Amino acid sequence: MSRASSEHPVVIVGAGIAGLACARALARGGVRATVLDKGKTPGGRASTRTFEHGTFDHGARRFDVRRATFGAYVHALESEGIVVPIESTNGAPTYRAAPTMGALARHMARELDVRSRAEVTRVRRDEHGFRLDVTRDGDGRETHAGRVLVVTAPPEQTRALLRGFALADEPRLASIGSEPCFALVVTFSRVRRAPTTLPSPFERAERELGSDRETWVFHTTREFARAHLERSPSEVEKELVPLAAAALGADEIPSFALVHRWRYARTHRKEETEALVDPDARLVVAGDYLGDGRIESAYESGLLAADHVLELLRSS
């Protein structure tokens, strides 16, 4: 089924924090952008899943503030009740969105043209700019056009999408890889303890805040996720649930359990945040992996991408 196309000066691939920050900065500069994301809701790894058993933050569950630019934005969000401070584990001011992490992305996406369930299948460029072929909701087909393209997908997906463009082979992008992770969400009616020492393969566990039930979110090590990446989530769930129950001292079958596979959970890069630009192609790449992988890096990379876009539009 074919659907209407859209055309704004800028197309942004990815509605995570980097893509949304870029689009918001462009909007403040008077530039409209179409934001395409294959997920059900914006936010990327800072999104939230909702089921009949509750709402869960199964990806990023908190974020810290280390630099002034992001800090000013977070303080504004705090004044609106979008984020609340929580106990820090590293000495830096730490926050979570309220009531769930998805509230941050929803707030950032307000008044933006965000198209969810929109998977970009092909990127073309001609003398007029970029044209993106998009599959929408699994079967609908769209074409989106723009003079400038910003890609904020994980590095592996970015390289695949931009195959044939010079920026895909840029060493700062070509050398970066992602590490996977499994998230286990599990609910018991009662637990005996909060885990102080986690059994392998878990590396962290947190109780779901605001829940009136004992709902916990466990994340695995990257080593376990790499070794079991292509197993079905149901198979991984069967292996992980007994380990989580033992860690919590729960001796019953959970009332709810879910495993989510984060194929692109984190990167190893630990350098100054940046965004990459090819002025000749009018192409920009941004994302948390072009910094230290935190939400703050995603936000700052998105702002830098917007600066590049505005300069490209002024010079064209």
**Residue 207 CB neighbours (<10 A):** 15
* Mean pLDDT per 10-residue segment, the chain (316 residues): 67 97 98 95 84 75 92 97 91 91 94 96 94 88 95 94 93 87 92 91 87 86 96 96 95 91 80 89 95 93 98 92
| pLDDT score at 2 | 47
Question: Are 301 and 287 in contact, with CB atoms under 8 Å apart?
Answer: yes
The 3-state secondary structure of 12-45, one letter per residue: EECCCHHHHHHHHHHHHCCCCEEEECCCCCCCHH
Tell me if 79 is assigned to some domain.
Answer: no
What phi and psi values does residue 14 have, to the nearest 5 degrees?
110, 120
| Alpha carbon distance 134, 121 (integer Å) | 6
| pLDDT score at 60 | 85
Tell me if 128 is assigned to some domain.
Answer: yes
| pLDDT score at 51 | 72
CATH code of 208's domain: 3.90.660.10
CATH code of 11's domain: 3.50.50.60
**Residue 226 CB neighbours (<10 A):** 12
Say how many domains are in the chain: 2
First to last CA, the chain: 35
Name the DSSP letter for residue 2.
B
| pLDDT score at 23 | 98
| pLDDT score at 11 | 98
CB neighbours of 94 closer than 8 A, spacing ≥ 6? 62, 63, 64, 65, 85, 86, 87, 88
Tell me if 144 is assigned to some domain.
Answer: yes
| pLDDT score at 146 | 96
Nearest one of 251, 250, 248 to 193, comparing CA atoms: 248
Helix (H, G, I), strand (E, B) or coil at 156: helix
Helix (H, G, I), strand (E, B) or coil at 129: strand
Are residues 21 and 114 part of one domain? Answer: yes
| Alpha carbon distance 66, 62 (integer Å) | 14
What token pair was written down for 237?
């769930």
Q: How many residues are listed for the chain in this entry?
A: 316
Q: Which amino acid is at 311?
A: E
Residue 238: its H or E element: helix 233-248
Are residues 227 and 283 part of one domain? Answer: no
| Alpha carbon distance 13, 161 (integer Å) | 10
pTM for the model: 0.89
Radius of gyration of the chain (CA): 20
Are residues 117 and 35 part of one domain? Answer: yes
Residue 236 CA: distances (Å) to CA of 187, 204, 227, 239 = 16, 17, 11, 5
Are residues 115 and 31 part of one domain? Answer: yes
Q: Which domain holds residue 142?
A: 6-48+98-176+269-315
| pLDDT score at 153 | 95
Residue 236: its H or E element: helix 233-248
Are residues 165 and 120 part of one domain? Answer: yes
